[in-house]
Structure 1
């Protein structure tokens, strides 16, 4: 049966049972006495509001207002990083001399190159761009003076990389923050982003008589209006859930204040006895795993004979401000598991978690192991961290100052805006996600085509105040889960208690959950594990359907009693395979299943889980 809504109870005596302070004697009519009493009570209430609370509230309001202009970034955090860099650089004459010498050498190299490039555009460049930097690949950049312009920019970029890293005494976090901000500022003033220094844009402008700039200005104006009016980007409307994406047939069989649970319709005459319960991250909509029919992981699983259940998280608002990680575990995972048990009774469940959903699922599985709850058959984690010691480039946005600033920003409205999260993700790959679009759409006047994964990435969700604060402080900053200090119901959560067979997936280009950090799950989990490292990033590496070109992966098993092998050694020794990792997972699921049976009914009305409406439900449509 569905769990009843929990109610909070306040302990202690009632106000009427407490001893009352006698009023000072007064004279006058009863009305005057009543007015005098009211005034005294008002004065007492005012005095109860201490000056400390007043000033603290003042700070919170100021920080909340500032966050709207800084995209949630704490100015104090940035200043701390630059102060650390400046003072340690000031106290490091050796580093200063090294930078001065490097600058001198770079200037000599640049002068020699500029003199030769004027007469020989094909001369050897003095610096090569990074492997992932394709801004200057067009042949027009090899012609004078643009070859000199972009070489000067790359030399400056190279020098700043040396200046901002390796300063003796700096903290690693501040080192990374200063380097990152410097890179963002340099990318902003890149000659590729300026119509007067980009030869490709200049050529297009001459060919079209400036029409491209007019069309680009119109594109920019349209994008600004859509952002201000909270509308999806151009082209995203073609991928509305339930119409072009998230179209795998199914029913919503359960709903509470935090989730909808979708059960997908079978497409085979027989299904595996053990169903799958998928827990996606709540920072994104679930349909990353049910995109278009040709690249839907859900459809693939259903067609392979699995009964699939999917959690669809509510897009939280002010009403959900006080929901914490424990509420997400209970309302999101445990109540979903109860519903699955009601529909498919007497069968264990293959539990699957993606990103934050995998982190929360690991906590839930450890709690279940401690309670000797054996309802899970296996544990699969996609790009999920349980050890946040090296949590990727998102660490740039997370320190004590930054978290405190975010908490004040969230406290005012009860949640973190989705555009603030998307902005952080975009900055991690600013050349690909921001500046390349600026050049293509605003300078060249060409609208970039929108595809399903791109449209999904713009369909963000908010973060409730309490949950996000707990997540950042307890998991990111304190790393409580990996250190065995995370507690639920006054008991420590120990990941080593999980002895389930596990299937772990990491992606090579993941900026959110670096694959080496995901790999360390093998140090913490206690069961037989299979680890997969696949090409692609945090999202594209997971959405890797069979037939997708240029996909490769590595896979190896680690029995529970086998010695741990370092990530670098593993990467060097495990052979690479071509294709999608999905069939490997499908084969692994079959190995840990107990055979086939007839498909279950859609929901179970007798147990309180009657179908409510068709998939994808209503929560996924909330913006």
Structure 2
């Protein structure tokens, strides 16, 4: 245990990753689904994945991960990669890989992530796969950004989206769960003062907040096992990804915490895009939502609140697991289960606890159910599109450069 403690201390002083992460190198062990970077700008790289089937569903899928995390949580090892699962089942998949910001990026705000991130990616996808609507998928903060974009597109008459999928993503922050402990005016002012000096929120600050929320699981039990009992917990791909933390630009993080968490502007119809507020009630796309039962980041009852913010069709799946393990949920795990129900467009609102009692339960992973949901809203399979086209030529092999930045 003492040797483990000394090793961890040396790694912390040298700013080295935890022991065992050397076995999970991005591009070699994780994040290995073949593809090409077809767009590179100051905020993100867009990856188009190589087809593995002779035909693909006509409508492509665009994935918007959170910039609070590196995208390859959705492309971990081949056996639990959601991206590989989609590609192998005949889907054309694009995924955003966000830049890990530094001091020079301190001025980037939510509008930059919306325009240079989502909209730039959607423009590229629409050019590479022309005359086809896009299934947009957002995870965590990426899902919140996607919901903002979809509301603005509905307001402005932009009909390029075929559907919207939100994975553990909040749109109403009136009950954000335990993270609310860290979000009030005084704490935000302190945080903004710190970020004014560094230009970004340090990765360690975010990791420390989550450790405090789940102190037994993430802090004390680990210290007892590794330092008192001398029993190193074997590293796995999800743990290695979790240790590969990211930063967030000062301006964006302040806007996100104030306008969404503290003031709840999005659900209140006050969040502006292009100088005009957007309303989630304008969204008429079919929506697939996933909540995770033990989520400490986006509590499932908070995720469920979108049901009373829009009257469109919503299919809601509540799966076992937490914010990460509930999403990285490949078929074949006998301990997984989920509940699922569709509220038709214009249907009555059902409170979360009532939904929990009445929604049918299914054994296994929610991935196949989502696959069938997308298939039902897609056209017949066609020949896969080229890798990059119409001004978006391949620039580099996946996973690109941004995901490798420390």
What's the TM-score bracket when you normalise by the shorter of the two chains? over 0.9
1:188-587 paired onto structure 2 within 5 Å: 216-587=1-372
After TM superposition, give the deviation of residue 585 of structure 1 in Å: 0.2
Contact 1:385 / 1:513 at 8 angstroms: preserved in 2?
A: yes
> Is it true that 1:596 corresponds to 2:381 in the alignment?
yes
Separation in structure 2 between the aligned mates of residue 342 and residue 575 of structure 1, nearest angstrom: 41
Separation in structure 2 between the aligned mates of residue 526 and residue 494 of structure 1, nearest angstrom: 12
Contact 2:311 / 2:347 at 8 angstroms: preserved in 1?
A: no
> Is it true that 1:612 corresponds to 2:395 in the alignment?
yes
Contact 1:495 / 1:526 at 8 angstroms: preserved in 2?
A: no
Separation in structure 1 between the aligned mates of residue 370 and residue 356 of structure 2, nearest angstrom: 19
What is the number of equivalent residue pairs in this alignment? 406
Contact 1:551 / 1:578 at 8 angstroms: preserved in 2?
A: yes
After TM superposition, give the deviation of residue 549 of structure 1 in Å: 2.3
Separation in structure 2 between the aligned mates of residue 500 and residue 534 of structure 1, nearest angstrom: 23
Residue segments in structure 1 that go unaligned for 5+ positions in a row? 1-215
Which secondary structure state, in structure 2, belongs to the residue aligned with residue 271 of structure 1? Answer: coil
Separation in structure 1 between the aligned mates of residue 9 and residue 377 of structure 2, nearest angstrom: 51
Separation in structure 2 between the aligned mates of residue 309 and residue 552 of structure 1, nearest angstrom: 28
Which secondary structure state, in structure 1, belongs to the residue aligned with residue 312 of structure 2? Answer: coil
Separation in structure 2 between the aligned mates of residue 393 and residue 454 of structure 1, nearest angstrom: 22
Contact 1:279 / 1:352 at 8 angstroms: preserved in 2?
A: yes
Contact 1:500 / 1:526 at 8 angstroms: preserved in 2?
A: no
Contact 1:276 / 1:308 at 8 angstroms: preserved in 2?
A: yes
> RCO greater where, 1 or 2, for CA within 8 Å and sep 6 or more?
2
1:118-133 paired onto structure 2 within 5 Å: none
**1:106 equivalent in structure 2:** none
Task: Flag the structure with higher helix content.
Answer: 1
Separation in structure 1 between the aligned mates of residue 20 and residue 242 of structure 2, nearest angstrom: 12
Contact 1:368 / 1:374 at 8 angstroms: preserved in 2?
A: yes
Which secondary structure state, in structure 1, belongs to the residue aligned with residue 322 of structure 2? Answer: coil
After TM superposition, give the deviation of residue 608 of structure 1 in Å: 2.2
Separation in structure 2 between the aligned mates of residue 546 and residue 343 of structure 1, nearest angstrom: 31
Separation in structure 2 between the aligned mates of residue 603 and residue 294 of structure 1, nearest angstrom: 27
Q: TM-score, normalised by structure 1?
A: 0.65
Single out whichever of 509-518 and 440-449 deviates more from structure 2: 440-449
- 4+ residue segments displaced more than 6 Å: none
Deviations 1:122-164 (A, max 9, x none): xxxxxxxxxxxxxxxxxxxxxxxxxxxxxxxxxxxxxxxxxxx
Separation in structure 1 between the aligned mates of residue 295 and residue 65 of structure 2, nearest angstrom: 17
After TM superposition, give the deviation of residue 526 of structure 1 in Å: 3.5
Separation in structure 1 between the aligned mates of residue 89 and residue 308 of structure 2, nearest angstrom: 32
Deviations 1:468-506 (A, max 9, x none): 000001000000000001112221110111100000000
Contact 1:321 / 1:466 at 8 angstroms: preserved in 2?
A: yes
Separation in structure 1 between the aligned mates of residue 163 and residue 353 of structure 2, nearest angstrom: 27
Single out whichever of 583-592 and 573-582 deviates more from structure 2: 573-582
Separation in structure 2 between the aligned mates of residue 608 and residue 416 of structure 1, nearest angstrom: 35
After TM superposition, give the deviation of residue 240 of structure 1 in Å: 1.1
After TM superposition, give the deviation of residue 231 of structure 1 in Å: 1.1
Which secondary structure state, in structure 1, belongs to the residue aligned with residue 267 of structure 2? Answer: helix
Which secondary structure state, in structure 2, belongs to the residue aligned with residue 616 of structure 1? Answer: coil
After TM superposition, give the deviation of residue 431 of structure 1 in Å: 0.9
After TM superposition, give the deviation of residue 573 of structure 1 in Å: 1.1
Aligned-CA RMSD value: 0.7
Separation in structure 2 between the aligned mates of residue 429 and residue 477 of structure 1, nearest angstrom: 22
Which secondary structure state, in structure 1, belongs to the residue aligned with residue 388 of structure 2? Answer: coil
Which secondary structure state, in structure 2, belongs to the residue aligned with residue 603 of structure 1? Answer: coil
After TM superposition, give the deviation of residue 432 of structure 1 in Å: 1.1
Separation in structure 2 between the aligned mates of residue 538 and residue 367 of structure 1, nearest angstrom: 27
After TM superposition, give the deviation of residue 594 of structure 1 in Å: 1.3
Which secondary structure state, in structure 1, belongs to the residue aligned with residue 176 of structure 2? Answer: coil
Residue segments in structure 2 that go unaligned for 5+ positions in a row? none
Which secondary structure state, in structure 2, belongs to the residue aligned with residue 577 of structure 1? Answer: strand
